[in-house]
Structure 1
Amino acid sequence: MRARTPFIAASLALASGLAIAQDKFPSHAITMIVPFPPGGVADITGRPTAAALEKVLKVPIAVTNRPGAGGAVGNAAVANAKPDGYTILMALSSISVIPAADELFDRKPAYSLSQFAPIALISADPTFLTVRTESPWKSAKDFVADAKKKQGQLSFSSSGVYGALHMPMEMFMHAAGIKMRHVPTTGGGPALNALLGGHVDVTAGGPAAISGHVQGGKLRALANWGTKRHPSFPDVPTFKELGYDVEYYIWAGLFAPAATPEPVMKVLREAVRQAVQDPDFKAQMDKVNSPISYMDAPEFRKYWEADAKRLAAAVKVVGRVETKPAPKPEEKK
């Protein structure tokens, strides 16, 4: 028995050393999946967030765009990823809509919300009803009046069926009593390109995506889906001001697979807390007129759950939506 004592002690020491090595996180690069193409809110928010996280964690953060099915492809990739903290997701509010839409169509869900663990909320902005400056519509009132005369003739682009830019448009059309042709694309960037290229008449866009084009004189914002006017667009009224009871925010937040160990989640949460205070990150978010709306995991979870319930209810109100495929020019990035 005594002869075995050194062996047992050595084994315990080795096991302890392995545990310490395994507990060290992160020890190599982290992948941040953005479930949309470049040019949209998720990508515009994700890249400066990744850059700021690299400074804190001292490892590379590789941003990988995984578009498809209104964000479902990228979301599902993270939902089913190994829960070790090395695969995280920069999701938009549409993460909550897709399971509700799957239920509406009685189809196998791409993922469930229980497969995600929230890390932190980064931003939360109202979307804007946006047209080209050469269009005849100077206000939302002008647009609605024309849309009523041309029921089903005007078209709008979105980031995908039931995606982050589709839902606000459906809510608006339902409230205004108008019908338009839906042209879904693979993300916010292609949806914006569709408008800029003259392939559609209107789209919904977050301030981070549209601000440069508005300032450059290419686009005009007619109204926003928030409860108050956006500080970067003080002359643009809210739909509520105009008598339409609609409210929608396109938020961007970080998630990990649900089974990610708590010590790893703690490291990620603390890293994001520091990252959002980084001067370069703040400057990047200011540049695209997207105020930082940081929430740590506990507060973000409550916000997310409340928003998910509201969006699930909106999906039921909107019901099944018929769409037409996007023309090829809109898929350009």
Structure 2
Amino acid sequence: MNLRCKRGTAAALLLLGAAKSMAAGYPDRPVTMLVPFPPGGVADTIARPLAQAMGDKLGQPVVIENKGGAGGAIGIGQAGRAKPDGYTLLMSLSSISILPAADRLLERKPAYQLEQFVPIARITADPTVLVVRADAPYKTLQEFIDAAKSQGSKLSYGSSGIYGTMHVPMEMLQSAAGIKMMHVPFTGAGPAVQALVGGQVDALATGPSSVMQLIQAGRVKALAHWGDEKLDSLPQVPSFKSQGYAISFVQWSGVFALAGTPPAVIEKLRQAVKSVADDPGVQSRIAATGSPLQYLDAPAFDAYWKKDSASLAVAVEKIGKVE
């Protein structure tokens, strides 16, 4: 072995040793879980009980940092620029897969690439639901669609941003039902839900967890959902498919680390999330949000994510360029 090879081998061994040493002491300070939406949305309501329980398992606090805007792109992009040491995690929705496809369609530089992230675990996976205010004049999906047809684009809906997880299903509905509504984007589900309750918009599509308390309080009502089967949290709400509209959309939530994070740190995070997911108390707290835990460990989540990303890229292409 020549001197150059010996030096290269020695350097590699030093780096490996340093990585193992860092992983052995991980975490020795608080961990940040970046949520790319404002408080009150699906990602935020799922992240908070998860982060608290993970902190107990890891022995260090897992602190939520909300960074909303651009349908999640600003926060996800910020997470993608973090150091891959396990001290910055990302709690994202399925919009993480949509936004790069939308950027390509619109011929603009993506805020991030999917390859920048490593999946740790899927936490929930729920169809979005179509909700309106409780005092809205339409009591059924068909009455809502008839109103949209008669009012042209005067009927409005809120979202977390263009091509986000609240926008894409509404585009699917408009295409399937032959209607056109006014799109009003906000920085996240929380502000969009507030706008619905306050009368600034007429409807929205969102995960059950961000509106469940409002439904239970009788302030909003769900007309339909984008799932294939009955929702356990809203068993009385029919699916679009059962009413003749062949559309479906699942809004999942998942935890990601940065690509390049030491494998031993990834493994610690996997085990922490798995332990949390197996805890009946945590399961109960997450289920209380209206989105029961539907855990997938890293390998299964990775396969699911790849398949879902491909499907969502096709959906974005079908929707085309929108304002």
Q: Aligning the two structures, in what range does the TM-score lie when normalised by the shorter sequence?
A: over 0.9
Say whether 1:289 aligns with 2:284: no
What TM-score, normalized to structure 1? 0.90
Instruction: From the CA coordinates, give the structure whose radius of gyration is larger.
Output: 1
After the TM superposition, which residues 1-333 of structure 1 pair with which residues of structure 2 at under 5 Å, given as runs?
A: 21-23=21-23, 24-322=25-323
Paired amino acid for 2:60:
V
Runs of 5+ unmatched residues, structure 2: 1-13
Paired amino acid for 1:105:
L
Paired amino acid for 2:47:
G
**What are the Cα deviations for residues 118-169 of structure 1, in whole angstroms up to 9, with x where unaligned?**
0000000011000001001101111011111112110000011111111111
Q: Distance in 2 between matches of 1:189 and 1:173?
A: 23
Q: Are the counterparts in 1 of residues 158 and 183 from structure 2 also a CA contact under 8 Å?
A: yes
SS at match of 2:242: coil
Q: Distance in 2 between matches of 1:111 and 1:18?
A: 28
Paired amino acid for 1:278:
D
Q: Distance in 2 between matches of 1:15 and 1:176?
A: 58
**What are the Cα deviations for residues 24-74 of structure 1, in whole angstroms up to 9, with x where unaligned?**
211111000000000000000000000110111010101000111110011
SS at match of 2:139: coil
Shift of 1:18: 6.5
Shift of 1:15: 10
Q: Distance in 2 between matches of 1:86 and 1:18?
A: 16
Q: Are the counterparts in 2 of residues 154 and 180 from structure 1 also a CA contact under 8 Å?
A: yes
- In structure 2, relative to structure 1, the CA distance for the partners of 1:15 and 1:266 (3 Å cut) is closer
- In structure 2, relative to structure 1, the CA distance for the partners of 1:29 and 1:149 (3 Å cut) is same
Q: Distance in 1 between matches of 2:57 and 2:216?
A: 33
- In structure 2, relative to structure 1, the CA distance for the partners of 1:175 and 1:118 (3 Å cut) is same
Runs of 5+ unmatched residues, structure 1: 1-13, 323-333
SS at match of 2:176: helix
Q: Give the RMSD, CA atoms, in angstroms.
A: 1.5
How many residues are paired up? Answer: 309
**What are the Cα deviations for residues 294-333 of structure 1, in whole angstroms up to 9, with x where unaligned?**
00111001111111111111111111112xxxxxxxxxxx
Shift of 1:282: 1.7
- In structure 2, relative to structure 1, the CA distance for the partners of 1:148 and 1:62 (3 Å cut) is same
Q: Distance in 2 between matches of 1:85 and 1:109?
A: 24
- In structure 2, relative to structure 1, the CA distance for the partners of 1:177 and 1:296 (3 Å cut) is same
What TM-score, normalized to structure 2? 0.93
**What are the Cα deviations for residues 181-234 of structure 1, in whole angstroms up to 9, with x where unaligned?**
000000010010110000000011211111100010000000000001101211
Work out the percentage of aligned pairs sharing the same amino acid.
50
Query: Which is further off, 218-227 or 73-82?
Result: 73-82
**Corresponding residue for residue 5 of structure 1:** none
**What are the Cα deviations for residues 94-134 of structure 1, in whole angstroms up to 9, with x where unaligned?**
00110011001100111111111000000000110000010
